[in-house]
Amino acid sequence: MVQNIIDVRNLSKSFDISSKEPGLNGTIKHFFNRQTKSLKVIKDISFEIKEGEIVGFLGANGAGKTTILKMLCGLIYPSEGSILVSGHLPFRRKENFLKNITLIMGQKQQLIWDLPPIESFYLNASIYDLEKFEAKKRIKKLSEMLEIDEELFIPVRKLSLGQRMKSELLAALIHEPNILFLDEPTLGLDINAQRNLRKFLQKYNKETNATICLTSHYMKDITSLCKRVICVHEGAISYDGKLNLLLKKLSPVKEILLVCRSEKDATKLESSGFTVKNKIKNEITLKIENNSITSSLKTILNNFDIEDLFINEPPIDEIIGKVLIKKDYDI
Amino acid sequence: MLEYRVEIALWAISGIIPFFMLNIWTNNNLNESINISDVMLSRYFLCAFFVRQFSVVWVVFSFEEDSLMGKVSPYLIQPLNPFFRYFAQHLAEQITRFPFALIIAFFFFIFNQESIWIPNLGILLLSIVSTFLSFLIQFLIQSIVACLCFWTEKASSLERLLFIPTLFLSGLLAPVVSFPAYVKSWVYLTPFPYLIDFPANLLSGNETNISGGLSMQILWIFLLFPLFKKIWSEGTKKYTAMGS
């Protein structure tokens, strides 16, 4: 049986936020009588993640996804509840725990700006107590997987965003962590770089059985990497389960465009009991439930003279967009 | 890379306050009032320049920027206290400054040939130790102030308050021996005279209590280190990982 590697129970996090009115008066008031209020950004959430799982955290901006990741990796202290990651309380930041995890933030970097990435890799290798020979071996292996080579010897400030991101990944993975926290790792990357990064993460997960927690606003990251998603809405979990179940639930019908041999056939099909979205001459668009697609198509192809057909899937961004603005999804 | 080399040279030159002070002291014959010869005063300010070059600390500014920009976050989840990074940076920059400091000393001796002297090896070694201890004290003081970033976000403003006593009481502008007796009695209870005055007097060969000075430096390190550990541990609980 696969063990839970992350166990979160009734986790909450509050921040003290101060607000200021605009203008000079507001500044003076703010200086002498600062108004602060406690804002609960994570509200009593619980979930478990199994070893080797890739889980996507979905949510609108400010929903609390990144705050959850920061608490899971021990960067910030939870206000209430408990977190166990690989048997450790993350915030204690014990050496054994830190050697097992990594956090990659798409918009933040740990590489030394004025030096080539290779210098940062050896620095990290020392921090994680790796022998020089072992470090060399891992740098070679990871740079092959990430397809970077001469970039390792060019100052970071001269690298492109994609090359920098690959180098960031290498720096973050040199100690071969078995839990990866990735906060928008493909942010700002072009389509090819995004695809390469996803391929790399899949390979890394497959080869090392690493657990990956991922947030991303690019749905392709989520659909190609994560079987399971946790949707966060205003600090609470609105859905935790399989991605394909969520998609089926949110998009129960498919649209099928049929090109009939003649307009007469299209008219006949229109009155045959299927739900029609629209009909233009010999082209008719039907709405068919996901669970009856095969049988419906069989009936149509057997009884009508069909020249061509197209199945339209609703865009996944549109479907997920619905999740981000709703509080509960009971699947 | 030229701009980096120029920057290093400028760092070294930016620490020449002691030479301005030497000029003010000798032009106004102020040294007569404290019974220090021109030569010894010249050596004192040259040594003050050297000690300053190898003990200057700016960790509060680096940490504040990194903390506000969220750059501290990746360091916090590594099995090494982020202050070790800043510590290593300071040491690396001290090494880089060394040749420039030597060039400045060379020119100083061209214009003040009577001040040339070679300290004995024992004194030289003790001065290096004392300068390093001075660096540690300053690093710890600034690190403690830097940790206040977890509460105030603008800890460098507090550091500026500390800069005033550091400037006046450390011996950078005037040897502490020139202070009135009642001021001296309490100044020696603070860490400031052990930052510049004590190591500079030691290196320049001026009369100084070597064991007392070194003991006070070590005592301050022992007092400041646990305070830093405590404030770091409390502060990280307040960390909100802003900017990331």
Indicate the range of A31-45, B22-36, B54-68, B184-198 predicted with least confidence: B22-36
Q: Burial level of A111, CB count in 10 A (0-12/13-18/19+)?
A: buried
Whether the Cβ atoms of residue A284 and residue A266 lie closer than 8 Å to each other: yes
Closest CA to B217 of B93, B55, B85, B74: B55
A269-309 pLDDT, tens digit per residue, is: 888 888 888 888 888 888 888 778 888 888 888 888 888 88
**pLDDT score recorded for residue B243:** 57
The count of CB pairs under 8 A between chains A and B is: 56
Strand A283-289 and strand A275-280: pairing?
antiparallel
* pLDDT of B57 above 80: yes
- With cut-offs at 50, 70 and 90, classify the pLDDT of residue A3: confident
* pLDDT of B6 above 90: no
Structure tokens at B33: 């009032």
Contact A128 B78 (CB under 8 A): yes
Task: Give the residue from A103, A104, A173 with the most B CB atoms within 10 Å of its CB, the best one to mutate.
Answer: A103
Which residues, 6 or more positions from B146, have their beta carbon under 8 angstroms from its beta carbon?
B59, B60, B63, B64, B67, B155, B159
Whether the Cβ atoms of residue A147 and residue A191 lie closer than 8 Å to each other: no
- With cut-offs at 50, 70 and 90, classify the pLDDT of residue B213: very high
Q: Which residue of A has its CA nearest to B1?
A: A114
Max Cα-Cα span within chain B: 59
How far apart are the C-alpha atoms of B214 and A252, rounded to whole Å? 79
**pLDDT score recorded for residue A281:** 84
* pLDDT of A188 above 80: no
Which residues, 6 or more positions from B93, have their beta carbon under 8 angstroms from its beta carbon?
B11
Contact A108 B73 (CB under 8 A): yes
How far apart are the C-alpha atoms of B238 and A91, rounded to whole Å? 11
Q: Which residue of B has its CA nearest to A104?
A: B74
**pLDDT score recorded for residue B206:** 86
**pLDDT score recorded for residue A131:** 93
Whether the Cβ atoms of residue A158 and residue A111 lie closer than 8 Å to each other: no
Q: What are the b/e assignments for A289-298, b being 16+ CB within 10 Å?
A: eeeeeeebbe
B180-209 pLDDT, tens digit per residue, is: 888 888 999 999 999 999 999 999 988 889
**pLDDT score recorded for residue A136:** 94
How far apart are the C-alpha atoms of B87 and B64, rounded to whole Å? 15
B79 contacts chain A (CB < 8 A): yes
Structure tokens at B55: 């003990």
Structure tokens at B56: 């200057």
Indicate the range of A24-33, B63-72, B210-219 predicted with least confidence: A24-33
Indicate the range of A128-137, A186-195, B232-241 predicted with least confidence: A186-195
Q: What is the mean pLDDT of chain A?
A: 87
A302-327 pLDDT, tens digit per residue, is: 888 888 888 877 667 777 777 777 66
Q: Burial level of A264, CB count in 10 A (0-12/13-18/19+)?
A: exposed
Q: Between these two residues, B21 and B79, which has the higher pLDDT value?
A: B79
Structure tokens at A222: 């989520």
**So what's the ipTM on this one?**
0.77
Indicate the range of A30-34, A134-138, A146-150, A291-295 predicted with least confidence: A30-34
Overall average pLDDT of the A222-249 stretch: 89
Q: What is the mean pLDDT of chain B?
A: 87
Overall average pLDDT of the B162-167 stretch: 88
- With cut-offs at 50, 70 and 90, classify the pLDDT of residue B3: low
